[in-house]
Structure 1
């Protein structure tokens, strides 16, 4: 892959050693980079705690609200609402500041939010409004942390390994997604939700230590963007001038807002439809995680073959919509869990392809701002989607959000795929010696 003029876009690892040629990197190529190994090691610990907290938080909301799906949707909306206001500015910060140092501060803030919720819960004073408030605070820190973390990946591994690193990140995320809910389900029964929050608070030490031990000199940094007025508007104008990016973001918005509604639906289906407890919710979450882990593993294998492809993006979105409808129609808890495995595979095929494609399609100086907009689109619709899906579950059936989300995903994939196909795909800018070339996904 071409390097960026004036930047550090060369393949290097510990003490200047060259990475293996692309053909030999294969599935775990990014792990040749010491900084990335530290990052992934910390993430494994932290993400298990994160998924434990998600299960415990959903269950605590249901307990404090007498099983209200609307309350669960409100909690999700509050957690994702700050994305609407902060993610774009977070993208500006990512382009302007040292991402590693910024992440050290933000990860500490996330750990403190978990600590506060755990202390309130174990002392027996937690009320629903406490959970709502901490969801809002957690969402505010996450809204800044996510674009910074996403745009930091290419600095750790370089452009040539970006697709592989995104896939490995998804593998790590979904391995934790498989382990965390299962562990949380048992812990909630034996020790209660509060201790799960406290365990998550401690788990943030993993990622903080990993960031601290990195070698800054080995990072593939582009020149930081100097502080100027209008940088946010400049980023928006850049995307507006790229209709191909606008269409892809449209597709991501509708599928993530209405299709990726499992944070609302799985707990409600487990409790209200099948009469299960936290173990049943943990089972469904774990089955979905098995699928997402498998999907991320396949994405890592595909990354050795080159850039992400438009056809795979659209097929993944279509398959996800169809399978989500099927999951919503299953007659038993076990069958629902079984169908959630291919749902997870299709979901990760779409999300990893979309993430890598967007990052490869933008210039380095704009990557932080574009990823801020990407995360706004990916997560910012949840304040709308969460309450809507909660309302559907409460007034119709707990299955309704899955069916409706699948239908919306299919329609969005068809519309976005047709328009992108007519345009010839996404344009990928690359730079060498100050000259620009353009290739197609």
Structure 2
């Protein structure tokens, strides 16, 4: 059986390299299995797109293959992320791998029997995408469990290499099978390719996470994930940049087969070779990033990747021969890996473990939304005008999207300490409180000298953001009109259980913001903390209270 040892931090004297994650046996086994599975996936992608290309004359239907793959992620990413944070990730992975194998087997059988149409391929590709959408958030977060934080960036890059090794090999194999046999055999081989991953995950002895408070329900977990993103500037900056990039990049993925078949009048083999050049470039990009990583920050990497995609779309629109496109696709592969690993690494380094799958799912939702929406827009534009006009318009979009680096800079989280601080004392209570009882109001009283109050309020704004991020429905700071130096911070939480979870969500990195607020407290004793529970008690609803009991904060 494959065990999951606790990752050890690399020796400080030894600088982590791209290969450091391979020293962890579970990561190595899962990575090898993922290469095999990814090869099957890329064979399937080529076969599916080419099959639709031969079954219809509509460029829109061909572009909708990208939408059929991406749309399930758009619809299911958030629920999948919540499931990945709430239930056993190993069992979820076993389910998704088995589900996708069955769907690929059905698609292969129908194709070999000649009972498939363009709409049938789109429908089953969509169903296969459902399995991939549920699988993706948990697969991303598993990497965090297999390697230490110091080499997470290298592990994410290697996951990109896995996909791009498959991109380099899979399309060529898929194109050859299509040319000599049938796309149906490609779909069957993809079904078989899931077995390696299923076997490795089955053998993985994952250590379950210790409970850190009352269990979350599904709806509450979804809300908590959305709140975390809403009040995390580093995360929503990545999301804006991700959507802009994926919306523009979707034209290359959605219309490349049309360029090969309709503009250059070439075969499926040429399409497979083109994707192989993309994959080869991405593999080369992994090694180049090892050198460029210390010279280029995430902003610069994304800007450079976007600039390359400007040239890519211009070349796809105007290049007179496929031989011009080979080096372009190689550079595009480098840019794709560099940009996508920058997005993914930034997200995963800026979120704590308790909400990681949910935040990753939001990132993937935004990414897939850009691909899905972009595929429809650029495909429709190609049908209504010309292929060249659509590709040149995409190049203009990519150029304009680079301006987002000014209002939405990306921040590296490599040095953040996102372990739970667990420094808040457990409040003393009389009697028993059910985790579903609520709402709860927490009040913290400070004594702040008048000259210090402007600076205190600036620091308190950041602390308020953390309260809202970690589960509060409302939060704020008020001054006592009878005592000008007495300031009360309050935050309002739906249930007692949610407040207990807040205790474990406050990270060691957040301690610095809390310390900035506490430095202004001038009282002889620490700030006084009081907890108020709604009376009468209620379950997950806000109950108005009378004036004599407690005023509801506005």
Instruction: Check the 8 A contact 1:235/1:370 in 2, yes or no.
Output: yes
In structure 2, the partner of 1:46 is 37
Q: Could you say if the C-alpha distance between residues 245 and 223 of structure 1 is closer, same or farther in structure 2, counting changes exceeding 3 Å? A: same
Query: Is the contact between residue 7 and residue 147 of structure 2 (CA under 8 Å) also seen in structure 1?
Result: no
> Corresponding residue for 1:186?
176
Q: Quote the residue 2:385 is aligned against.
A: 396
8 Å contact from structure 1 (residues 155, 221) kept in 2: no
- Contact in 2 for aligned 1:265/1:401 (Cα 8 Å): no
CA–CA separation in structure 1 for the residues paired with 2:7 and 2:146: 15
Residues 331-340 or 32-41, more deviating: 331-340
What is the match of residue 7 of structure 1? Answer: none
- Deviation of 1:301 after TM superposition, in Å, equals 5.6
Partner of 2:280: 290
- Indicate how the Cα distance of structure 1 residues 33 and 277 shifts in structure 2: closer, same or farther if over 3 A, else same: same
User: CA deviation digits over 1:222-274, x for unaligned, max 9?
Assistant: 96982334221221111111233212201101211222333321110110001
Shift of 1:18: 4.5
Select which of 354, 360, 363 maps to 1:374: 363
SS of equivalent to 1:276: coil
Q: How many residues align?
A: 421
Q: Helix, strand or coil: the match of 1:315?
A: helix
Among 301, 304, 314, the residue aligned to 2:303: 314
| CA drift at 1:291 | 1.3
Deviation at 1:307, TM superposition (A): 11
2:407 aligns with one of 419, 422, 427: 419
Match of 2:417 in 1: 430
Distance 1:270 1:222, change over 3 A: farther
CA distance in 2, matches of 1:17, 1:377: 31
- TM-score for both structures, normalised by structure 1: 0.88
Shift of 1:344: 1.4
Deviations 1:185-208 (A, max 9, x none): 111010111111111111111111
Q: Which has the higher contact order (CA 8 A, sep 6+)?
A: 1
Give CA-to-partner distance per residue, 1:129-161, whole Å, 9 cap, x none.
321220221121111111111111101113222
Corresponding position of 1:8:
none
User: What is the CA–CA distance in structure 1 between the aligned matches of 2:371 and 2:387, rounded to whole Å?
Assistant: 18
User: Aligned residue for 2:344?
Assistant: 355
Query: What is the aligned partner in structure 2 of residue 344 from structure 1?
Result: 333
CA contact (8 A) 1:26 1:301 kept: no
Q: Does 1:156 align with 2:146?
A: yes
Is the partner of 1:81 in helix, strand or coil? helix
In the alignment, the residues of structure 1 paired with residue 191 and residue 53 of structure 2 have an alpha-carbon distance, to the nearest angstrom, of 22
Match of 2:82 in 1: 92
TM-aligned CA distance change 1:327 to 1:168, over 3 Å: same
Contact 2:4 2:204 in 1 (8 A): no
Corresponding residue of 1:409: 398
More strand by share: 2
Structure 1 residues not aligned, in runs of 5+: 1-12
In 2: Cα distance, 1:322 partner to 1:221 partner: 50
Once residues 214 and 158 of structure 2 are traced to their aligned partners in structure 1, the CA distance between those partners, rounded to angstroms, is 28
Alignment of 1:171-182 (within 5 A): 171-182=161-172
Task: Supply the RMSD in Å over aligned alpha carbons.
Answer: 2.6
Pairwise CA distance, 1:79:
2.7
TM superposition shift of 1:355: 0.4
Aligned counterparts of 2:275 and 2:95: Cα–Cα separation in 1: 30
Q: Could you tell which deviates more after superposition, 151-160 or 71-80?
A: 71-80
Alignment match, 1:383:
372
Instruction: Name the TM-score, length of structure 2 as normaliser.
Output: 0.71
More helix by share: 1
